Amino acid sequence: MREALTRTDPEIARLIASEERRQAQKIRLIPSENYVSQAVLEATGTVLTNKYSEGYPGKRYYEGQQFIDAIESLAIERAKKLFSAEHANVQSYSGSPANLAVYLAFLKPGDTVMGMALPAGGHLTHGWSVSITGKFFKSVAYGVRKETGRVDFDEVRALAREHRPKLIWCGGTAIPRTIDFPAFAGIAKEVGAVLVADIAHIAGLVAGGAHPSPVGHAEVVTTTTHKTLRGPRGGMILCNAPHASAIDKAVFPGLQGGPHNHTTAAIAVALSEAATDPFRNYAAQVVANARALAEELTARGYDLVSGGTDNHLLLVDLTRQAIAGKPAAQALDRAGLVLNYNTVPFDPRKPFDPSGIRLGTPAVTSRGMKESEMRQIGRWLDEAIQAAKRNDPSTLDQILGAVGEMTRAFPAPGLDSIAP
Ligand SMILES: *Cc1c(COP(=O)(O)O)cnc(C)c1O
């Protein structure tokens, strides 16, 4: 395997092999991560990385686009069809640049934008203070209700009427519930704002019919391609026809140079995979698995923000367990259960040492795991957190061993040839 790389740079080759083993042997519960198929991996690792293609299909600034144009056109057509969108731009380097392009398309520096607060589950690029989007624009943040953990539409409407944002973002990184796109659209319409739905986390669920689609409600939709959608790292912007040219100009030449053609090809492959019946089943199973995991954790006394989940993601407040998110996440990693610590809404602790953990089922579902495995994982999560509290590393190591056995029985896509 990878003979040339091993010869040229054995150090990097070894590190990649170690990462492959880590990905194969541990249980990946980070809700923004997934396993791409071997086909997507192959498309990514091709000579398409050698080609410059500034511009769009049929309108390039470099010659030699005979095959690149066909590849990007396929990606665009597949994106439009999969999401029933009028226009698609597949060139954004990732989710954050896709969002930045939307600002460039609709706003001038200093204009007002509204998005969900980061600690409530929003994304940095929705106007949070440390992001360029909070520094170059005037930003207003909405949150969630303390009692329900869900968006407070009375608050969203009141803030929108008061501040008259030009852009309203919905979507985020730690939202365990269905996003009510029509409710956001109604408010955006009332104040004359453009509604942007950032479906980075849930794009695969939307494509697979397991979450309502924002298309038809939000004029612009941004997404990553590498989370539930199970493509390569990248970004996409979907919009209705009147915004097509503003979006395309914002991505290039407004923000980026040449598109990453190897990524575009892999996006096209992922989009074709996402248009199949097995992918629809996958999306439904992601949600069913999250629900099973939520039930197991709730039965064991864990506090889930909003009381449960409608999608792929669970946000757990560990205050009742008397352990903070970071030491819990570190102990769980030792036990082979990889997730991230996370703020919970109204978190009294600091963002770098918050009260919660965030976990999700996209990756374990890609390995073919079902509800009974989720219940087992829920038991291990609880046992490992209890072990962390009494400083009992040997239990963590025992769980790691059991995790290794389970992962051997469910080989990960793209990694099924890795020796256990
Ligand atoms: C992941 C994410 C992004 C950013 O994507 P990157 O590819 O990491 O830049 C943007 N918005 C939301 C809601 C996300 O979850």
Q: What is the pLDDT of residues 119-174, one digit of tens each?
A: 999 999 999 999 999 999 999 999 999 999 999 999 999 999 999 999 999 999 99
pLDDT above 80 for 418: no
**Rounded to the nearest whole angstrom, what is the distance from the C-alpha of residue 388 to the centroid of ligand 1?**
31
Q: How far apart are CA 269 and CA 244, in angstroms?
A: 23
Residue 308 Ramachandran class (φ > 0 left, ψ -120 to 50 alpha, else beta): left
- Residue 198 CA to ligand 1 centre (angstroms): 8
Q: Are residues 254 and 360 in the same domain?
A: no
Q: What is the pLDDT of residue 419?
A: 55
CATH of the domain at 120: 3.40.640.10
Atom 15 in ligand 1: which residue has the minimum CA distance?
173
Asked whether residue 198 falls in the same domain as residue 289, the answer is no
pLDDT band at 67 (very low <50, low <70, confident <90, very high): very high
Residues 219 and 102 in one domain: yes
- For residue 375, pLDDT over 60 is answered with yes
Q: Choose, from 51, 145, 233, 280, the residue flagged as catalytic.
A: 233
If asked whether residues 194 and 237 sit together in one domain, one would say yes
Question: What tokens were used for 171?
Answer: 């979507």
Nearest-atom number in ligand 1 for the CA of 227 is 1
pLDDT higher than threshold 90 for residue 316: yes
Which atom of ligand 1 is found nearest the CA of 235? 7
Mean predicted lDDT score pLDDT of the chain: 97
Question: What is the spatial distance between Cα 34 and Cα 200, in angstroms, rounded to a whole number?
Answer: 13
Per-residue pLDDT of 223-243, as tens digits, reads 999 999 999 999 999 999 999
10 Å CB burial of residue 237 (0-12, 13-18, 19+) is buried
* Same-domain pairing of 216 and 318: no
Selecting among 20, 21, 52, 371, the annotated active-site residue is: 52
**Cα(185) to centroid of ligand 1, in Å?**
21
Whether 178 maps to a domain, the answer reads yes
Q: Are 83 and 205 in contact (CB under 8 A)?
A: no
Count of Cβ atoms closer than 10 Å to residue 76 Cβ: 23
Same-domain pairing of 238 and 336: no
Task: Judge if 319 and 247 occupy the same domain.
Answer: no
Q: What is the pLDDT of residues 5-16, one digit of tens each?
A: 999 999 999 999
Residues 181 and 327 occupy one common structural domain: no
In a domain, 17, yes or no: no
- Indicate if the pLDDT at residue 35 is higher than 90: yes
Domain boundary among the residues 274, 299, 327 is at 274
- The predicted-structure confidence for 81-106, as pLDDT tens digits, reads as follows 999 999 999 999 999 999 999 999 99
**Structure confidence at residue 370 (pLDDT):** 98
pLDDT above 80: residue 189: yes
178/317 same-domain check: no
**Structural domain containing residue 159:** 42-274
The number of domains in the chain is 2
* Catalytic residue (choose from 72, 198, 248, 317): 198
CATH of the domain at 324: 3.90.1150.10
pLDDT tens digits for range 278-296: 999 999 999 999 999 999 9
Cα separations in angstroms, 208 against 176, 283, 413: 17, 5, 18
pTM exceeds 0.95, yes or no: yes
What is the predicted pLDDT for the residue at 342? Answer: 96
The residue from 274, 304, 334 where one domain ends is 274
Give domain status of residue 35, yes or no: no
Look up residue 47 and give its amino acid.
Answer: V
Clarify whether 54 is annotated catalytic.
Answer: yes
- Do residues 217 and 263 share a domain? yes
pLDDT-based confidence at residue 34 (cuts at 50, 70, 90): very high
Specify if 179 maps to a domain: yes
268 and 287 co-located in one domain: no
Pairing mode of beta strands 194-198, 167-170 = parallel
Ligand 1 mean position to 96 CA, how many Å? 6
